[in-house]
Structure 1
Amino acid sequence: MEGHNGHGAGGPGADDAANADGATSANAAANANGWDDPVAREGAAERARARDQRLTEQRRALPDQPGVYLFRNVKGTVIYVGKAKSIKKRVASHFSNPSTQAGRDLLPMIDRIDALVVSTESEALLTEQNFIKQYKPRFNIRLRDDKSYPYIGISLDEDYPRVYFTRERHRRTRAYFGPYSNAKRVRETLDLLGKIFMFRSCDGPEPGRRSGSPCLDYYIKRCEAPCVGYVTREQYRTSIDGVIDFLSGRYRAIESAIDANMREAAAEQRFEDAARERNRLRSIRSLLERQRVTNASVGTLDAIAIAVEGHDANAQVFQVRDGVLSDRQGFYLENEAGDDVAAVAEAFILQYYGSSLMIPPLLVVQQELADREETIAAALTERRGSAVELRAAERGDKRRILELAERNARLQLDQERLRSERRRQQRVDALDGLQTALGLDTIPLRVECFDISHVGGTHTVASMVVLEAGATKKADYRRFTLREGTEGVPDDFASMEEVLSRRLAQYERQHDRSPHDDGYDASFAALPNLLVIDGGKGQLSAGMKVLEGFQRRGVAIVSLAKRIEEVFVPGRSEPIILPHDTPELQLLQRIRDEAHRFAIGHHRIRRDRAMTRSVLDSLAGVGPARKRALMNHFGSPEAFLAATREELEAVPGLPGKVARDLYLQINKTGH
């Protein structure tokens, strides 16, 4: 990504950095940037007054109708999405009565308000969730890592479908079940399903392998060998239907079908088949009895409980199918705005069932959602295509299941907070230890690490990764594209000198800018407490040539040599050797490895782009469409270069004159 200095510096998360450091109040901006002169303060105050006037005019123009509104910051990034029966009144309430600390943090960051009118409140709910999924606003409630939740996929577009673990669900010709919160449990479920329904585990659209004989799965009763015709396509599809019934919670139908198959096989004296069906029936019944939490009359439902504390929230989904607790899902949520249980529950339900492939007819929820049940139910009914009921259970088996979900939500939230506190304390100990070991004047709250990556001096790149308070800050990561080595000879010292000089130049260009200015980069504007160079004495010496400006500002500079993890510091001939089990060395290793990973990733992208260029790119008259046609016809650049004029003229869709020109170009250039 191109940087502000024109040398290829840049990186991911620029919008996130702008979010974090975006529009603030005039005084806060002035204090943060050290503007003590009256001119700077007056300029900031004038911008704030202009913004307030603009927002007032936008608020007056908002419609008094149901819909969705979006708050954007000065960079145009969406930082909050809301829905309302009346957009105008709801937006006004944000400004007249910010009820939480997060609300007070939100208001100074708003630079523009957009609105979208819809027909009904339930439509507004669904539209809001679509926008949240698209923009991932900082101040909205969101599932953590929502892209990584696992699913079980079934390839119904194949003659002999596979049942497999996946994290994508974009193919319309396939069935997906999930999302699940625990990948290990998904794999255990797949293992159980394989034993019961004996579907194939081989990859590819066609079953089997080149040898033409069944694999081991057939002999251990894990597959019925469709690859060699031991089972017909219809029989195999019946097994897949059983998998779908199981994942959909139709357990009684599965029991009945297997029991009928067993009795039919026994009546026909196919005793081996009858024994196999009997074993399948025992496995199913054993599993269901272990998981049965109530009587079958409870039917099919999801019990949803939310626990909230500060900015943290946990949601538990207890899935009951035919009276059996088929699964329990737990999700952590980001609650930056500090919303209450009702708001978190509403957002979670809409997000969860927006990606879930199955919505049950009944959701048992907490009492706090009582006044929102009708609107949420209408939105889910529209998505499911049939009636969905939300009910706050007050007694009986449903209440008992909900209480169990509530206890689990509170327990999971407490455990997560304990783990977070433990990780925070470990980071504090590591930073304290690093300060002592390196003799630093202050705790290194911001640490930057730089690494170089190339192959033989080609496609040379560098990375800058950042730790703040001991935790990675990926929004501040940056990549650099550097000058190539001379005649393919790498020069790591010159490369390190270049990237560090550019880092210093960016700081001097950025640090006295306002966050409102075009081209402002919060990462380059920040001053590190500690700068780590990946390498030994040579890399440190190269860095010291250009980092005098950082040293004058109190930045400590060290290098970390990988062989025996030696830490070199300026002015000291002998390295510092830190014990391998100390948190301070582990912190340095972690940021060094992260810088290496980030640099390698950028290098591979540049190298792959270069390698994908072929001789066809240098020929006149060959665009993307003709390049595809030539490659499809000949199969490789080599075959194309060896083609005769007649063979080129025979390419479908290629005009005869163009084919003759290509033949002349190839031979004239000596290819």
Structure 2
Amino acid sequence: MADGSSNGNGWDDPQARESAAQAARARDERLREQRRALPDQPGVYLFRNAKGTVIYVGKAKSIKKRVASHFSNPSTQAGRDLLPMIDRIESLVVATEAEALLAEQNFIKQYKPRFNIRLRDDKSYPYIGISLDEDYPRVYFTRERHRRERAYFGPYSNAKRVRETLDLLGKIFMFRTCDGPTPGRRSGSPCLDYYIKRCEAPCVGYVTRDEYRVAIDGVIDFLSGRYNAIESAIEANMREAAAEQRFEDAARERNRLRAIRSLLERQRVTNASVGTLDAIAIAVEGHDANAQVFQVRDGVLSDRQGFYLENEAGDDVAAVAEAFVLQYYGSALMIPPLLVVQREVGESASAIAAALAERRGGPVELRAAERGDKKRILELAERNAKLALDQERLRSERRRQQRVDALEGLQKVLGLDTIPLRIECFDISHVGGTHTVASMVVFEAGAAKKSDYRRFTLREGTEGVPDDFASMEEVLTRRLGQYERQHDRSPHDEGYDSSFASLPNVVVIDGGKGQLSAGMRALEGFRRRGVAIVSLAKRIEEVFLPGRSTPIVLPHDTPELQLLQRIRDEAHRFAITHHRVRRDRAMTVSVLDTLPGVGPARKRALLKHFGSPEAFLAATREELEAVPGLPGKVARDLYLQINKTGH
């Protein structure tokens, strides 16, 4: 392995070292000139690396002084990691510190800089949506909130709790759960939800639109934290029904009132005089941080949200809290008038409050709790933040140890000299030899490194012929060729690919002996550099090694086999995803683009209406005629053309 990685980039050459030193001096001088030109005004500054990528966004009352503070204290963790990567400084002047905060968060959301504090999960957080644009609105789970005419509540940190909340709301307010803009189903009779008292059957007219809307208003009040108003309204309905001797309706309202009061009593953490507030606590440990948001509405703890944060720069509680508050309430759909925060946030509290007030359209107060119920709630949030961080650290350590055990076990099974830190796995995907593609996935230190994944579209020579051996040999030949072209290049060269330039310790091929033989022929150059080549067959999870007639069969509970399975399954998933994209694109081009009367606009309308080319091809004439914006004659011609061509 030595000749593939020790000096592949040529930096042991004295001339190369001198060239690098000159480049560093030129960079330092350029940065000094840029720092001298920075304005002494409030605003936002951006640090970019040599590739032009934004690696840090900051805000300041004085851009010039704040940037200077970064360079005057290089001994901090942030300085050691961040400063050597800065190649260019940009700035944007704004009128106030509050505007600077909002601009900073917009840039962080846009560029996702490595050294800024960010919510750790890349996923979109769950929301509860209400389709107010429909006559009988639905209340549903969603991860998107792009429709202006709909109401959204969130974000929530726990999808399970969101679904539990929806289940509770369904029992109390009995809204419909059927999909689509109009309620009901083709049979014309109520569904099971009506008979178990989970829906009032608007589909068959058992409830009017206005009556149904009252229930939806109750859901909105509940999610907005207006619990006292809900209790009063339900109690008034119960008394009115009893006075009118509608005893069945009165009993139903009584049961709803009991359910509401039981829930609120379980969650009541203080008296109602505390009102509505959010208590926000931050715990920081090195590069990790946790934020807890306790949402108190009318004295009731309506929800508790927990978020893990990436703190690459190792910032303190005040900096993390400032960044979190602005990010969280930048996507939250309701900002309470009072935020109770830790004492460390004191200096920037007024600027944060001004920024949030602008977004809320009303006053927002940030203050530390000194005593009483508010302090008790904040202390509870602080304990939860520290506990969550400790639990996450334990889980991370457990996962790290599991990965170490798996890699050590794999080293022993394969007879390697070193632990296989980088493992690459290849898989082929096709249908009958058509649209053949391949995937390369990479695991480093036992964890997926998705930035190094690569896809391959195989050349026309293999199209139409289902020859997995030839396909695998082609892909692996191309992988070795990419390595030989890339590993002698500098990372600063145009077209440099760090994934292809890296030398793996182990290459895993999805398949049996035949695929392994194809890999051996293609990767002889890797084998000379010490790379181990193995294959993993699916049937009974046999591991085939070169020069060994019988496979290795590992027990299913061994961490090394589970690691190989995880890598193989990920390669399979990645290959299938690429294959489906190619196949759908080819089907779309070959079918929709050749039909009479179908231009780009109608093609989009057809795909939007049916969802996929397959559903379009299976449509009846009546379903085609029902496509919005598609003339009846064109729909009938399409139906005849599809069936005439035998599709």
Corresponding residue for residue 75 of structure 1:
51
Q: Which residue of 2 aligns with 1:263?
A: 239
| Structure 2 counterparts to residues 84-163 of structure 1, below 5 A | 84-98=60-74, 100-163=76-139
**In the alignment, which of 316, 326, 342 is matched to residue 302 of structure 2?**
326
Q: CA deviation at 1:198?
A: 0.6
> CA distance change for structure 1 residues 300 and 557 in 2, over 3 Å: closer, same or farther?
same
| Residue of structure 1 aligned with 2:371, choices 380, 391, 395 | 395
* 1:46 to partner: Cα distance: 2.2
Q: Which runs of 5+ in 1 are unaligned?
A: 1-28, 642-649, 655-665
Q: Deviation digits for residues 447-477 of structure 1, max 9, x if unmatched?
A: 1101111111111111111111101111111
Deviation of the 1:569 alpha carbon:
0.9
Shift of 1:55: 2.0
* Shift in Å, 1:597: 0.4
Q: 1:485, 1:491 within 8 Å by CA — same for their partners in 2?
A: no
Cα RMSD (Å) of the superposition?
Answer: 2.8
The corresponding residue for 1:405 is: 381
Task: State the distance in 2 between where 1:148 and 1:593 align.
Answer: 24
Q: Distance in 2 between matches of 1:269 and 1:620?
A: 66
> Residues 31-50 of structure 1: matches in 2 within 5 Å?
33-50=9-26
| Segment of structure 1 superposing worse, 276-285 or 34-43 | 34-43
Contact map agreement 1:483 1:495 (CA 8 A) in 2 = no
Is the counterpart of residue 502 in structure 1 residue 478 in structure 2? yes
Shift in Å, 1:583: 0.3
CA contact (8 A) 1:579 1:585 kept: yes
Paired position in structure 1 for 2:459: 483
Counterparts in 2 of 1:514 and 1:487: CA distance versus 1, 3 Å? closer
Query: For residue 361 of structure 1, what is the amino acid of its counterpart?
Result: P
2:318 matches 1:312? no
Matched, 1:576 2:552: yes
Which secondary structure does the structure 2 equivalent of 1:325 belong to? strand
The counterpart of 2:498, out of the listed 490, 513, 522, is 522
Between 1:127-136 and 1:609-618, the stretch displaced more is 609-618
Which residue, out of 416, 436, 442, partners 1:460? 436
Give 1:15's aligned residue: none
Q: Is the 8 A contact 1:447 1:530 kept in 2?
A: yes
Cα drift, residue 102 of structure 1? 3.0
SS at structure 1 position matched to 2:522: coil
The aligned counterpart of 1:470 is 446
Q: Show the counterpart of 1:252.
A: 228
Query: Structure 1 32/553 Cα, relative in aligned 2: closer, same or farther at 3 Å?
Result: closer
2:508: which partner in 1? 532
Residue 347 (str. 1) matches residue 323 (str. 2) = yes
Q: Give 1:148 deviation, angstroms.
A: 2.6
- Secondary structure in 2 matching 1:168: coil
Preserved CA contact (<8 Å) 1:152 1:163: yes
Q: How many residues align?
A: 623
Moved over 3 A (4+): 29-34, 484-487, 614-623, 625-633, 635-639, 650-654
Quote how far apart the aligned CAs of 1:364 are.
0.5
Alignment match, 1:604: 580
Shifted more, 516-525 versus 252-261: the winner is 516-525
CA contact (8 A) 1:631 1:637 kept: no
- Name the residue aligned to 1:275: 251
Decide whether aligned partners of structure 1 residues 208 and 570 sit closer, same or farther in structure 2, where only a CA change above 3 A counts: same
Q: Is the 8 A contact 1:100 1:337 kept in 2?
A: no
1:399-456 deviation per Cα after TM superposition (whole angstroms, max 9, x unaligned): 0010000000000000000000000000000000001111111100111101111111
Residue ranges of structure 2 left out of the alignment (5+ in a row): 610-614, 622-629, 635-641
> Structure 1 residues 440, 551: CA separation in 2 closer, same or farther (over 3 Å shift)?
same
Partner Cα separation in structure 1 for residue 605 and residue 241 of structure 2: 56
Instruction: Verify the 8 A CA contact 1:214 1:225 in the aligned structure 2.
Output: yes
The residue number in structure 1 matching 2:205 is: 229
Separation of aligned partners in 2, 1:621 and 1:255: 59
Contact conserved, 1:152 with 1:186, CA < 8 A, in 2? Answer: yes
Give the 3-state SS of the residue equivalent to 2:57 in structure 1.
strand
**Structure 1 residue 100, shift from structure 2 partner:** 2.6
**More displaced stretch, 43-52 vs 313-322:** 43-52
For each residue in 1:247-298, what CA deviation from the matched residue of structure 2 results, as whole angstroms up to 9, or x when unmatched?
Answer: 0000000010011111111111111111111111111111111111111111
Which residue identity is paired with 1:483?
Answer: R
Deviating more after overlay: 320-329 vs 110-119: 110-119
- Greater shift after overlay, 33-42 or 598-607? 33-42
Q: Identity across aligned pairs (percent)?
A: 87
Distance 1:33 1:616, change over 3 A: closer
Q: Once the 2 structures are TM-superposed, how far is the Cα of residue 47 of structure 1 from its aligned partner?
A: 2.1
Q: Distance in 2 between matches of 1:30 and 1:38?
A: 16
For CA contacts below 8 A with separation 6 or more, give which structure has more relative contact order.
1
Partner SS for 1:531: strand
Q: Given that residues 299 and 321 in structure 1 are in contact (C-alpha distance below 8 angstroms), is that contact kept between their aligned partners in structure 2?
A: yes
- 1:459·1:484 contact (CA, 8 Å) conserved in 2? no
SS across alignment from 1:545:
helix
2:359 maps to 383
Give the match's secondary structure for 2:90: strand
Q: Distance in 2 between matches of 1:100 and 1:31?
A: 31
